[in-house]
Amino acid sequence: MFKGHPKGLIAAALANMGERFGFYTMMAILTLFLMSKFNISGTEAGTFYSIFYGAIYILALVGGLIADRLRNYKGTIIAGLITMSAGYVFLAMPALITSKYIALAALLVIAFGNGLFKGNLQAVVGQMYDNEKYSSKRDSGFQIFYMFINIGAMFAPFMATWVRNTFVGMQGFKYNAELPELCHSYIGGNMSQDVINGRFTELATTVSHGNLPANLTEFAQNYLTAFNTGFHYAFLTAVGAMAISFVIFMATKKLFPDPKTKAKTTSVSKEEIQQDATEIKQRILALFAVFGVVIFFWFSFHQNGLTLTMFAKDYTLLGGIFPSVEIFQSINPFLVVFLTPLIILIFNALSKKGIEPSTPRKIAIGMGIAASAFVLMAVGSMGLPLLADVKSMGGLPDAERVTPWLLFSVYFILTVAELFISPLGLSFVSKVAPAHLQGLMQGGWLTATAVGNFSLVLGAVMYENISISITWTVFVAVCLLSMGAMFGMVKWLERVAK
């Protein structure tokens, strides 16, 4: 699988693992943390979530501009690692995060560091494949890169929940995802007597190891403190992962190309000579067309940390190998790691027969696969009550909850779609982008992701106000429309890519 690839590929992927670890730590716990810590609705948490996830990617455009201007990708990447680490340390301190706006400030520090780091490391990987020796391996190279960076992501939800649950256990309680909202409701005097005497008392007794708390108000306050402080300490796991990435990058950075050094020896690169103004214009237009399509994929896919996480909390039966809401976020990176070699084998076999789809066609197919995931979700959610009705009864009884295998199946399909779109999209950008705009165009890809992420809150609005099944149907329509648009442009994009 690694034959014919540059030596720096795996080093770059391992250096990126810390960023993925932090990303999936946030994916797993951010929405739940915001709702529990600040007693806000899913829609309001979704707003903060969307701002953060949008900023992560749109700031990659800024990071790309900085690196392109300085021609110093490595230095910009190092600055990004340090900045991200500082943001996670800030977020891990309960005494500092006293309001949701301070929390947002910490999140934006992380986002800025990510912007300096992410797109530029991807640009460095692309620069490795600008060498004619490796150019034919560009697609599979980005697939391998994508697989390895998700190794860190696999363990992030487990580590974050282990830290949180361990701290909750040290305070004498057990984990329960529903209790923070119920505790806030009880303290605020918004809970009906039936729920107080029923579900709230039942859960309070369960998490207190079978002992009914003598004072429910004191219990609610103590449980919230334990739960939220545990969340804060969970963010420290990302700091450790960032430190490992920093060490790996510093130890292996000599393996990566250095455009700044090249610039000293020649004023105009060979690639820039070959790409006249008309060709550059066509390349940029093609990239922007692809960026426009993938906006809708990320709007749908990144619901995994928002509405799909809320669905796991509100409607899914937890237990067995799915003991907590956050664990579902490990499914995607786990499947990325284990499905990528299979996808590469399939594409290699098709290539040998001369029938491998082009990169743009693969992206279009991926959009169709994503649509099928939300079809399954819509069918599996039929008959479920509105969220408002679930809240009024203090939570959905276990007998009425859906099997966790529904979410597992949906994550499985979405992961396959992701493997057709994300690593291949990165490959397409690195291949088509004009030589002097590599960092900027990688930032453009991430900016398209940002636009999709800024729209994530619309999913939370639908989730909290309309039928759950209809909510998923909206994502089906979005993905199908994007697939149609991509197929409509395939021949043009294939010509430009040549």
pLDDT at 83: 95
pLDDT at 461: 95
344 token code pair: 């590469």
* Backbone dihedral region for residue 481 (phi beyond 0: left; psi -120 to 50: alpha; all else: beta): alpha
State the sign of the Cα–Cα–Cα–Cα dihedral 17, 23, 25, 28: negative
**φ, ψ of residue 358 in degrees (nearest 5):** -70, 165
Check: CB of residue 454 under 8 Å from CB of residue 149.
Answer: no
What's the rounded Cα separation, in Å, for the pair 129 and 440? Answer: 17
Among candidate residues 177, 179, 166, the one with its CA nearest the CA of residue 219: 179
3-state SS assignment for residue 343: helix
pLDDT at 119: 79
Residues 6+ apart with CB under 8 A from 196: 186, 216
- Please count the helices (runs of H) and the strands (runs of E) in the chain: 21, 0
Q: What are 402's strand-pairing partners?
A: 316
Q: Report the half-sphere exposure of 430 (CA within 13 A, side-chain side).
A: 27
The CATH classification of domain 8-256+276-497, taken from the options 1.10.3720.10, 1.20.120.530, 3.20.20.450, 1.20.1250.20: 1.20.1250.20
Only one residue has tokens 């599979």, namely 140
pLDDT at 476: 97
Q: What is the pLDDT along the chain (498 residues), one digit of tens a residue?
A: 667 788 888 888 888 888 888 888 888 899 999 999 999 999 999 999 999 988 988 888 888 888 878 888 889 999 999 999 999 999 999 999 999 999 999 999 999 999 899 878 888 888 888 877 877 788 788 888 888 878 888 889 999 999 999 999 999 999 998 899 999 999 999 999 999 999 999 999 999 999 999 999 999 999 999 999 999 999 999 999 999 999 999 999 888 887 655 544 444 455 555 557 778 888 888 888 888 888 999 999 999 889 999 999 999 999 888 988 989 988 998 998 889 889 888 988 988 888 988 888 999 999 999 999 999 999 999 999 999 999 888 889 999 999 999 999 999 999 999 999 988 887 888 788 887 777 678 778 878 888 898 999 999 999 999 999 999 999 999 999 999 999 999 899 888 877
Q: Could you tell me what percentage of the chain is helix, strand and coil, using 3-state DSSP and rounding each to the nearest 5?
A: 80, 0, 20
What's the rounded Cα separation, in Å, for the pair 226 and 245? Answer: 30
8-state DSSP, 137: G
pLDDT at 264: 45
What's the rounded Cα separation, in Å, for the pair 101 and 48? Answer: 9
199 token code pair: 């579900």
Residues 6+ apart with CB under 8 A from 353: none
In this structure, what is the dihedral angle of CA atoms 22, 79, 452, 233, given to the nearest 10 degrees? 30
pLDDT at 2: 66
What's the rounded Cα separation, in Å, for the pair 459 and 480? Answer: 17
Give the global pTM. 0.79
Check: CB of residue 383 under 8 Å from CB of residue 301.
Answer: no
The number of angstroms, rounded, from the C-alpha of 181 to the middle of its chain's C-alpha atoms is 25
